[in-house]
């Protein structure tokens, strides 16, 4: 079974509202603020590790990319980062963000027939009842479209409005959601659009507010017991899991999007960076992210 999976900086006058979060790391607690790039003090940016860096265009297959430091709002690297592109399954981060803000993780959700009419379903059946937590685990680790459709359905008929309102509230200016999974709606219309910059802000915000859900994607597979059945599948981020310091990642792939990927990794203990590639290839996205991570780690002031 195959699981399928819009940075230009705004004007200096525009200030992104800070999002506070507490991150757990190796038993310690580190606080960081998700900052808009325009709030980063330019006169001190060059003094900090890691330093901004360049990558040859030929080194990346992706149409757009960014490496973003959420602790101080610095953009370390960008390529067409404000360009809105099809988002594919990275959409599921927003679906999870809205769900966790709306209902408890223990809430039972019953699968409907409409939930399973999606490409890349995960094997759920109408009438199955799983907790919100279990469905989010399936959706984030294995990118299960049926699971995330059920999550969205549990939020009521206004879930898309909630997703788009949340995007606006956290400063995502190039983002628009048309469905909760990111699956292409037609051969010309994607299920969601976003920029590499916006994806970086979304991932940083989700990690700051729900770190335990983002780190679920460190797992190499997901296993859920549903009554007498045990459902299991490999993680879609599996090719990245050997990267030291990887916090987690979310993949996306559709015909319109190509290969998308967002990864958060610690460049040093307690210092996360967000790397995003959009419009790469199904396999090239993993190489693209590795190139960005490795270059960020070796950059110096």
In order of start, what are the domains of the chain with their CATH numbers?
A: 35-298 (3.40.710.10)
Q: How far apart are CA 238 and CA 249, in angstroms?
A: 9
Q: How far apart are CA 128 and CA 135, in angstroms?
A: 11
Query: What is the pLDDT at residue 39?
Result: 40
Query: What is the pLDDT at residue 43?
Result: 45
Q: Is 151 exposed, middle or buried (0-12, 13-18, 19+ CB in 10 A)?
A: buried
Quickly tell me which residue has 């953009």 as its tokens: 75
Q: How far apart are CA 296 and CA 273, in angstroms?
A: 9
Q: How far apart are CA 88 and CA 255, in angstroms?
A: 9
- What does pLDDT average to in each consecutive run of 10 residues of the chain (301 residues)? 37 35 34 52 58 94 98 97 98 98 96 81 87 96 95 96 98 98 97 98 98 96 87 94 97 98 95 98 98 94 78
Query: What is the pLDDT at residue 137?
Result: 97
Query: What is the pLDDT at residue 3?
Result: 35
147 pairs with which residues across the strands? none
Query: What is the pLDDT at residue 38?
Result: 46
pTM of the model: 0.85
129 pairs with which residues across the strands? 110
């Amino acid at each position: 079974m195959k699981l399928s999976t819009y940075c230009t900086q705004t004007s200096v006058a525009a200030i992104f509202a800070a999002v506070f979060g507490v991150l757990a790391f190796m038993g310690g607690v580190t606080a960081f603020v998700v900052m808009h790039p325009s709030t980063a003090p330019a006169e001190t940016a060059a003094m900090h590790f890691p330093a901004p860096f360049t990558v040859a265009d030929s080194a990346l297959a992706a149409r757009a990319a960014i490496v973003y430091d959420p602790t101080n709002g610095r953009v370390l690297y960008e390529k067409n980062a404000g360009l809105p592109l099809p988002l594919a399954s990275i959409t599921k981060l927003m679906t999870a963000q809205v769900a966790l803000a709306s209902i408890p993780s223990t809430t039972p959700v019953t699968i409907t027939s409409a939930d399973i009419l999606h490409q890349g379903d995960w094997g759920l059946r109408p009438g199955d009842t799983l907790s919100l937590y279990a469905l989010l685990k399936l959706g984030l680790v294995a990118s299960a479209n049926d699971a995330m459709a059920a999550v969205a359905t549990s939020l009521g008929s206004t879930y898309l409005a909630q997703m788009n309102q949340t995007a606006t509230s956290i400063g995502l200016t190039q983002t628009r959601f048309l469905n909760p999974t990111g699956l292409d709606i037609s051969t010309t219309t994607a299920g969601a659009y976003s920029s590499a910059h916006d994806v970086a802000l979304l991932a940083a915000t989700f990690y700051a507010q729900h770190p335990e859900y983002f780190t679920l994607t460190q797992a190499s597979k997901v296993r859920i017991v549903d009554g007498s059945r045990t459902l299991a599948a490999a993680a879609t981020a599996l090719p990245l899991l050997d990267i030291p310091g990887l916090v987690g990642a979310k993949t996306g792939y559709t015909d319109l999007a190509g290969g998308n990927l967002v990864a958060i990794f610690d460049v040093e203990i307690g210092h996360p960076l967000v790397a995003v590639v959009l419009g790469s290839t199904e396999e090239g996205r993993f190489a693209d992210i590795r190139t960005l991570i490795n270059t960020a780690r070796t950059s110096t002031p």
